[in-house]
Amino acid sequence: MSETDLVVVTGAEGFIGRALVARFVAAGRAYRAIVRELDPSRPAKTQFYAVGDLATVIEADLDAILAGASAVVHLAGRAHVLGERGGDAASAYATANVTATARLARAAGRAGVRRFVFASTVKVNGETSMPSRPFRPDDAPAPQDEYAKSKLQGEQVLSDVCAGTQMAPIVLRLPLVYGPGVKANFAKLLDEIGSERRLPLGAIRNRRSLLYLGNLVGAIEAALDAVPPPSGVHFVADAESPSVPELLAATGRALGVPVHLMAVPVRLLVFGGRLIGQSEKVARLVGTLEVDTSSFTAATGWRPRNTLAEGLAATALWWRMRHSI
Identify which of 99, 73, 85 has the alpha carbon closest to the alpha carbon of residue 12.
73
* Alpha carbon distances (Å) from 78 to 53, 86, 99: 11, 15, 12
| Contact of 293 with 231, CB cutoff 8 Å | no
**Alpha-helical segments (H) within the chain:** 15-27, 59-66, 87-94, 100-111, 146-162, 184-194, 213-225, 244-255, 266-275, 279-286, 294-300, 308-323
| Contact of 50 with 12, CB cutoff 8 Å | no
* Alpha carbon distances (Å) from 57 to 50, 115, 240, 258, 307: 10, 22, 41, 50, 40
Q: Is 147 a catalytic residue?
A: yes
Beta-carbon neighbour count of residue 50 at 10 Å?
A: 13
Exactly one of 31, 49, 93, 147 is catalytic; name it: 147
Identify which of 318, 305, 23 has the alpha carbon closest to the alpha carbon of residue 182.
318
Tell me the catalytic residues.
Answer: 147
